[in-house]
Amino acid sequence: MMPMNVLVTAASRRVALIQAFQAAIDTLGLPGRVIATDVNAYSPAVHVADRAYAVPLAIDPGYIEALLDICRAERIRLVVPTIDDELTAVGEARERFRQVGAFAACSSAATAAACNDKYETCTRLAARGIPAALTYLPHELPASSVFPMFIKPRVGRGAVGAHVLQDARDMAYFLDRVESPIVQEYLTGPEFTIDVLCDGRGRPISIVPRERVVVRSGVIDRGRTVKSRPLIELAERVCEAFVFTGALNIQCRMRGSEARVFEINPRFSGGIDLTIAAGADFPGLLVQMALGRRLMPRIGEFRDDLWICKYETAVFVQGSDRQLATLADARLRESEVA
């Protein structure tokens, strides 16, 4: 039986995701390993993976070729990109991955580019009647803005460059300092992330809303699953406005009784471990998709009001053992298999 080898890119701190794919392979009774990539030998997830490779930065022109080399050498069948910087490039190369026998679990380059552009995201949703945060380019700002408002880069991640604007002076100050800014209405209601998994035809297979009760550095610290029909229906409508493949997360806040989307990330969320623990096994479903199995939707099949309370832990690495495998190693292994 051909092994079910999975490649998780930019593994970094995604220990729980690596372990979830390892558990999925084991639960399905398949031979296989989880391979990780990273640029840093001290990233904890690379020491939890079954094997790890050093690769260039995602913005490097040789990045995709490096991943393809690893896919060939390790007989990868499923590729899982995890960071915004690589989504467009991997989406553009999906056919190249297919040609080496790997299913790239990501949306198209067009969808990734549209979601990376926060202005495009919200204007597209609004044009389709889907509740989204009011979003302006600097020249579109109304003459009488209602404060507070929110400013952030049009393309960015990790809350870098994001600021609350309390008045017109704040507006003038940050418009000069945030690169390619957009300005949004400031939503103060409870915040939710909706984890979604779509199949290769763009159909939502699983949808799990989560309330982000405490957030640290842009990632959930404490939160809970919420079996909310309106939030699930909102996610279904978003999946009609874009064509997704694989995992995505929709970020929204309540304005009164209505949830308004302010961002979409076509990748695994930082809080995906809560969704998996609640019974929506996205890694297991992706492995089955890579095997060519047709999946039936299981919308709403998860535990309600399950809480996550995160804490720090550590991986200890002897300095002399810190080296990652190189691309030369990958090419050598490929020649051995051939």
Domains by residue range for the chain, with CATH: 5-106+314-337 (3.40.50.20), 134-185 (3.30.1490), 188-309 (3.30.470.20)
Residue 152 CB neighbours (<10 A) = 22
C-alpha 249/C-alpha 193 separation (Å) is 6
C-alpha 138/C-alpha 224 separation (Å) is 36
What is the pLDDT tens value at each position of the chain, 338 positions in all?
789 999 999 999 999 999 999 999 999 999 999 999 999 999 999 999 999 999 999 999 999 999 999 999 999 999 999 999 999 999 999 999 999 999 999 999 999 999 999 999 999 999 999 999 999 999 999 988 899 999 999 997 767 889 999 999 999 999 999 999 999 999 989 999 999 999 999 999 999 999 999 998 788 999 999 999 999 999 999 999 999 999 999 999 998 889 999 999 999 999 999 999 999 999 999 999 999 999 999 999 999 999 999 999 999 988 877 678 877 777 767 766 65
Q: Which residues contact 22 (CB under 8 A, 6 or more apart)?
A: 34, 50
> Token pair for residue 47?
């020491």
Q: Which residues contact 114 (CB under 8 A, 6 or more apart)?
A: 120, 121, 124, 242
DSSP letters, 284-303, are HHHHHHHTT------TT-S-
- Whether 70 contacts 62, CB under 8 Å: no
pTM of the model: 0.94
Residue 300 CB neighbours (<10 A) = 15
Residue 96 CB neighbours (<10 A) = 16
Q: How far, in whole angstroms, is CA 138 from its chain's centroid?
A: 28
Residue 140 CB neighbours (<10 A) = 10
